[in-house]
Structures are given as C-alpha cells and as structure tokens.
Structure 1
C-alpha cells in the first residue's frame, strides 16, 4: 500500500531556482544567494511569518552546501535531543562533512536551552539555522544573536501565491471556472503557502474537477480556522482577550485565551499582553498584577507549555478580578504631551546637580532641601517643575483598590506644596 504524502511535501522545492519569493535574500547578489555561491555558510536566524518557506529554505541551503541536515522543534524537543544531534554531528565531522541544525520556532526555547547551542556553534561543529515568527531582538539571547545573522523573510505576495496555487492545482488536476475562485483561495491563505496548499488539497475531496466560488466557499466554511497570526483573527481574538480582562470577566478571559492556545498561539504573546494590561488597565489599583504576570511568564519559561499555560491562566484570572485603573497610563500620556511642548524649559537651579566645583559656583543645587532631613520627610513648598510651567497635576488616582489610599496620601502631600 503506497505511503501517503501531503501535497505540501510533494510540492516542496529542492533547488533554490524553484523557491518562490524572498528574492531580496536569494538572488545571486543578495546575502544568502551570495553566501551559497561563495560556499561561505554561517549561522542565521530566519525571521518571518508562517508559511513563507523557512524550513524549505533551510533544507535547500543544506543540500547546496553538501552538509548533513538535522532538525529540532522547540515545541517538542529539548536538551536531550540536542545531545543526540551533537553526537551525530561529531560522527559526520570524522567524515569531513558539516552539520546544519535547523531549529523550528527557536523563540520557544528558554535562555538555558538557547545557551546550549553556543559552544557547538563557536567550535564549528554545527551551523545553526533558527526559524522564528517573533522579533529576535526580544526572543533570542543576545549571545546567540551576536553569533548569527538575522534575515527577514517577507509575507508572500499575491503573485507568489498565484504561482504556488497553479502548481498545486495542476498536480491535483483541478480546474477553476474563473479568476475569482483563485482570488478566494489566495485571500483565505493570508500569505501562508502551506495553508494555501492545504486548502487546495482539501478541494480534491470533491468529485468535481472544475470548481466554482460556491464550491470553494463551502469547503472553506467547513474547514476549522487556525490561529491566523498577524491577520484579522489574531488581532480580534487578542482584542477580545484584552477587553475581557479589562472588563473584569475572568470567564471571558479564559475562553479567549483557550481559543488562542488551542489554535496554536504562542503563550508568550498572551503573557506579553497581560503585562501591558497590568500596567495600562490595573496600574496602582493593584500593583501585584505586574509581578504576578511576570512570575507566570517565568513559570512558562521554566516548565514549558502545559504547566506554564496554567500559570498564565492564573495570572489572567487575577488581572481580570483585580480593581482597574488607567490613572497612571493617562497621567504619563499627559506628561509626554507636556514634555513635547516644553522641551526648551530649563531645569530649575535648585534641582540641578552640582557635580563639579564650577557647577557649585554657578549655583547648581542652591536652595534644594533634602527631604530626608525635613520633618515627616517632606520638603514643604519645594517646587519640581520648570518655573515657566508652575506646579502641575497629571496623576489623579481613582477610588478603586490601592489607589483609594494613594489618593488620600496625595491629597495630604499636595496640600503642603
């Protein structure tokens, strides 16, 4: 009985000349194209959205360099699997053959796991090609980044997707009755070649060899939508999660978090959004929200998806149940606007630092009263704004949570200024 091969695997290009898109990297005078023609391979991070060919490109690079190919997934593998890769690499080294290690979703490895690559990259035992959909500046260790070059892969254009679709339709012996049918398939793929090919493969399940827009729309409607990272569904679900937490609905927050997780969202995206919520929507009404969210992110980094997801869910429930205040957020925006409009105002003399004898002679710091030497630790009447502005009030605490006490304290402090 013949072994089933997915259409995406059948259509996977094996030569650089067959690769669709990314000409800004692959043309002979461009970075990767030139490196391959010069046989000057180096470790690299391929940063781009899903379905643009990161895995395929890594395989082609390996083939053209005549190297041994190893692959790891940061979702499924860990240090144990890396040790196996290193053992294989050492065996191939004795045969004078280089090893290229491709790591999919490398951003999901924690700091310790990423550090494990360093000695083997530095020794030349492996050449690392990491693939990520996340900004490497935030998700990849600086030590690993300094030993790699980052290449940005673009979302596939409509023309690129049309070329791939034509190959897939020809392979499956399917005809479309008009250009609108092809446009519908391409729009549904949202720049993801893998999704495009999967849609076309699903269309082969129909008995019709010529398809119209109604056939395609029905197939797409029956297909379970995945987490469309970077597209409308991504932003809609993340927005629904944010608004559920802001609106103090722990149940809504858990539902939208679960929807994103089940559909393949990186949990760190949710943790990152929670941190923003803890500052923007909770603020000083309950400052614990920031620390609890940071702790949950740390648990995820240490324990991985299963236990880590529960910790993030715990933080989401806490944030949803916490008292809400955007007073700090609003105050900071007011301060930013004031700073833009008063950037030429000088620092008052008494607030300046007399770090040299000359500055002291010029009167820097003169008249400043050290709060710790004042009664109640408060320099009554001392001003803290440029003279042209006078004293300003930006932060106005709410009557919720800890800000109730902060408001009372500020009322007392401001009455003494």
Structure 2
C-alpha cells in the first residue's frame, strides 16, 4: 500500500488500487459485466457513471483509464470553465493513437457551452469522456452528448458490502492495523451511511479518534458511533437526484391519502435544508391537480400556506406545512379538472375554429351588421340564470373535456347541472 501523510483521510488511504479491489458494483465489474469486458478488450468508450456520492465513481474512472493504459485528466465541474476545459483538450498529443481519458466530476453542473466543448472533442475522438453525476443524466446532460456515451448506474453498497469495507480498513490500513480494534457497530454504521463507503469510513475514523486511546481493545460500538455521527449524516441533497425522488415520494403519498408518509417525506426535505416555499409551491400545484373540485378549499388552504410560509419562514413554517400536507392527504381526491385542461390544451394545439358569431361582441355598427352577437341569449334574463345555447364552434358542439369524478362534491355539481338543463327543457326556452 502506498505511503500517505499522517493527515490523509482514511477513505483516501483505502481507495482501491485495482478494479479487483473494488467492493460492490458487481453488475458492472464482475466477469462478463459491461465495464469488465471493455477492459479485457483493451477498449474504453465514453461513459457516464450515475449514482449517489461515495460509491466509487471517481475510483472506477481512474482504474478504468489505468487498466487500458490511457493518460488520465481529472476535472471538477465546480471549478472548471470553458477556458480550462479547452486547455486540457488542446494538450492532447495528436500523435497518440489512444485518446486520453478526461474525467469530469459532477458533469451535471456543466452549462451548455461547456457540454458543447466536450461534445466536439468526443465526436472527433480527441478524448474519451468519463462523466460522473449524482443526478439522472437524462435531465442534466444534453441529449447530443448523452447519445455518444454509455450510461451506467452504480448501486449503493448494501450492509454486507459496507461491513466488508470497514473490515478491510481495520485489517489493511497502515494506521488502523496497528491498533487492536473490536468492531461492534458495523450494522449501525451501514444504516447511517446509506450505501456510501466514504461516509462509512469517515464514521469509522472519527469513532477511532474519539475512543479512549488507553482502552484495549478499542471498542467501536453504537454509542460511540452515534456520538460522532450527529446531524451530519442526514441524507438529502437538495441539488441532486434525491431531491426529485423525495419530492416525488411526498407528492405520491399525498395523492395516495397517506398523511404519515407525506409528513415523513416532507420532514426529510425540511431537515435536509429544502426551502419551505418550494415545498409549499408543490402543494399548491398538487391541491389543484390531485384534489381539484373534489374539495376546492384545498387550493385555498395551500395558497394561503404558500403566502404564510413566505412571510414567516422557518422554523415556524414547518407547522403550517404540516397542517396543509395532512389536510391534503386526508381530502377527497379528483384529477378530473387536470385531465380536462390537458385534453382542451391538446385539442387547442390542433384546432383553430373561429368564434361563433353569437359569442362575439358587436361593439361597432359594422360588427353588428356582420352578425356579431346576433342570437346570443343573456343567461341572467332566464329562470335559474341559465339558457341552453351552444358555446363551442359548430364542429366541436359535442366535445366534452370535463367528466365528473365519483366524489360527493362533483356528483352534486353534476346533479345540479342536469337539473338546470331539465328545467330549461321543461320551460321550453
């Protein structure tokens, strides 16, 4: 194992030095798996590695380049501009038969100009790109660049794999192996790390540093791990893919009428630092899309919550959001108006029928002479403020966008509308 500075983090000291040393990702690295086959064929194409932090994206990129004998250039999207990117691309030895590997960490943070610069180099074969992203690349990498890369999803490590990572560190790390360590908290560390090997190793290192150095053996139990973990292990990235996953989970829980699950996912967002007004805006949309006219008060309450959250802020805003999310989750549900406006928008994109003359305003004598407003019946002049007349173009006269859902309020509206029509028919007007 290479020598490290005394302050080098354990996770860095335990970085694998070959593909065979990697724990996990068997679906990509085992015999006959996609990345293993590339290496065996001494070939490496441009790829995007997609997955959560701490599961080996950077390490795999470095080791793939090493395995096929390519120069390796690592860049971070956080501090690399187009100028720096072009400088790296221009340093490529044009006489080399093999393109260098350019690794872009957090490639989802590259803007269009940066991604276009990469695209040209990939298309020309000047570089082999390996991008790493915690976000779904379908949303964060432009289609032209994405189409020229193979996308591989890395998986979080399971409990058994995290335990193996910890045990390897205890047995092989040049510092830890000199200590007598008794590991009793592997399952707890695995639970806290959520599949992140780097986080698991950081916890182990902190626990060892916190333990009584006079103790022998040094016992790493749940109590000491819990003390060093604190709130830093809350797993939520409001800028990454998990942001969208947890928002989706909250919305689906409200839609599915489960207030407990809705509260849990919303709490995960709040604890992770998600702005309260973002959550409130999502609830306003949901109130109309998933509840609609089954309970019109839902939209009023959600809108009031948005304005209240914006004026009050956290931490008190959590109380308002909690009330609203429970109200929405336990409300009657309907997406009938959501479907109706979508259907109307779809037809409007294809149909441009003229407005019937009787619905037009005859504000000038010329317009009235041309028939504008002729035949229009003012509903307030008739019983029940209703008059049966057509409000659609003749070619769309029988079109229906809105279908009453089977909830009490919409069924009541349906009965009322039918009553109006029956009354109009019986009065023969």
* TM-score category, normalised to shorter length: 0.5 to 0.7
Q: RMSD of aligned C-alpha atoms?
A: 4.9
Q: Provide the rounded CA distance (Å) in 2 between the counterparts of 1:140 and 1:380.
A: 46
Q: Provide the rounded CA distance (Å) in 1 between the counterparts of 2:420 and 2:150.
A: 57
Q: Provide the rounded CA distance (Å) in 1 between the counterparts of 2:357 and 2:84.
A: 61
Using the TM superposition, give the Cα deviation of residue 372 of structure 1 relative to its aligned residue in structure 2, in angstroms: 3.8
Instruction: Indicate how the Cα distance of structure 1 residues 14 and 93 shifts in structure 2: closer, same or farther if over 3 A, else same.
Output: farther
Which of 385, 391, 396 in structure 1 is aligned with 2:400?
385
Q: Give the 5 Å matches for 1:199-210.
A: 199-205=203-209, 206=211, 207=213, 208-210=215-217
Report the 3-state secondary structure (helix = DSSP H, G, I; strand = E; otherwise coil) of the residue aligned with 1:130: strand
Asked if 1:374 is matched to 2:358, the reply is yes
TM-score by length of 1: 0.62
- Partner residue of 1:19? 22
Q: Give the 5 Å matches for 1:114-153.
A: 114-153=115-154
Contact 2:71 / 2:100 at 8 angstroms: preserved in 1?
yes
- Partner residue of 2:189? 185
Instruction: Indicate how the Cα distance of structure 1 residues 127 and 315 shifts in structure 2: closer, same or farther if over 3 A, else same.
Output: farther
Q: Please, which runs of 5 or more residues in structure 1 have no aligned partner? A: 247-254, 290-312, 340-346, 356-364, 398-410
Asked if 1:109 is matched to 2:110, the reply is yes
Q: Provide the rounded CA distance (Å) in 1 between the counterparts of 2:135 and 2:336.
A: 32
Q: Provide the rounded CA distance (Å) in 1 between the counterparts of 2:311 and 2:280.
A: 8
Which of 47, 58, 61 in structure 1 is aligned with 2:61?
58
Contact 2:55 / 2:195 at 8 angstroms: preserved in 1?
yes
Instruction: Indicate how the Cα distance of structure 1 residues 2 and 55 shifts in structure 2: closer, same or farther if over 3 A, else same.
Output: closer
Contact 1:176 / 1:182 at 8 angstroms: preserved in 2?
no
Q: Provide the rounded CA distance (Å) in 2 between the counterparts of 1:177 and 1:190.
A: 22
Instruction: Indicate how the Cα distance of structure 1 residues 230 and 162 shifts in structure 2: closer, same or farther if over 3 A, else same.
Output: farther
Using the TM superposition, give the Cα deviation of residue 221 of structure 1 relative to its aligned residue in structure 2, in angstroms: 2.5
Using the TM superposition, give the Cα deviation of residue 139 of structure 1 relative to its aligned residue in structure 2, in angstroms: 1.4
Q: Provide the rounded CA distance (Å) in 2 between the counterparts of 1:161 and 1:257.
A: 26
- Partner residue of 1:197? 201
- Partner residue of 2:77? 74
Which of 220, 231, 234 in structure 1 is aligned with 2:226?
220
- Partner residue of 2:11? 8
- Partner residue of 1:403? none
Using the TM superposition, give the Cα deviation of residue 61 of structure 1 relative to its aligned residue in structure 2, in angstroms: 0.4
Q: Provide the rounded CA distance (Å) in 1 between the counterparts of 2:282 and 2:66.
A: 44
- Partner residue of 2:95? 94
Q: Provide the rounded CA distance (Å) in 1 between the counterparts of 2:311 and 2:71.
A: 44
Q: Provide the rounded CA distance (Å) in 2 between the counterparts of 1:130 and 1:204.
A: 34
Report the 3-state secondary structure (helix = DSSP H, G, I; strand = E; otherwise coil) of the residue aligned with 1:374: helix
Report the 3-state secondary structure (helix = DSSP H, G, I; strand = E; otherwise coil) of the residue aligned with 1:76: coil
Instruction: Indicate how the Cα distance of structure 1 residues 73 and 260 shifts in structure 2: closer, same or farther if over 3 A, else same.
Output: farther
Q: Provide the rounded CA distance (Å) in 2 between the counterparts of 1:63 and 1:258.
A: 42
Q: Give the 5 Å matches for 1:281-292.
A: 281=287
Instruction: Indicate how the Cα distance of structure 1 residues 61 and 371 shifts in structure 2: closer, same or farther if over 3 A, else same.
Output: same
Q: Provide the rounded CA distance (Å) in 2 between the counterparts of 1:182 and 1:256.
A: 24
Deviates more, 1:138-147 or 1:72-81: 72-81
Contact 2:82 / 2:113 at 8 angstroms: preserved in 1?
no
After superposition, the C-alpha distances for 1:294-326 in whole angstroms (9 at most, x for unaligned) are xxxxxxxxxxxxxxxxxxx99998xx99xx999
Q: Provide the rounded CA distance (Å) in 2 between the counterparts of 1:17 and 1:315.
A: 55
Using the TM superposition, give the Cα deviation of residue 123 of structure 1 relative to its aligned residue in structure 2, in angstroms: 0.8
Using the TM superposition, give the Cα deviation of residue 226 of structure 1 relative to its aligned residue in structure 2, in angstroms: 4.1
Contact 2:206 / 2:228 at 8 angstroms: preserved in 1?
no
- Partner residue of 1:229? 236
Q: Provide the rounded CA distance (Å) in 1 between the counterparts of 2:312 and 2:32.
A: 49
Using the TM superposition, give the Cα deviation of residue 222 of structure 1 relative to its aligned residue in structure 2, in angstroms: 3.5
- Partner residue of 2:163? 162
- Partner residue of 2:366? none
Using the TM superposition, give the Cα deviation of residue 81 of structure 1 relative to its aligned residue in structure 2, in angstroms: 2.1
Q: Provide the rounded CA distance (Å) in 2 between the counterparts of 1:151 and 1:192.
A: 17
Q: Give the 5 Å matches for 1:327-406.
A: 333-335=334-336, 371-376=355-360, 379-380=390-391, 382-385=397-400
After superposition, the C-alpha distances for 1:161-189 in whole angstroms (9 at most, x for unaligned) are 111111112221355546x4222222222
Instruction: Indicate how the Cα distance of structure 1 residues 218 and 122 shifts in structure 2: closer, same or farther if over 3 A, else same.
Output: same
State the structure with more CA Rg: 2
Which of 40, 45, 68 in structure 2 is aligned with 1:42?
45
Using the TM superposition, give the Cα deviation of residue 275 of structure 1 relative to its aligned residue in structure 2, in angstroms: 6.5
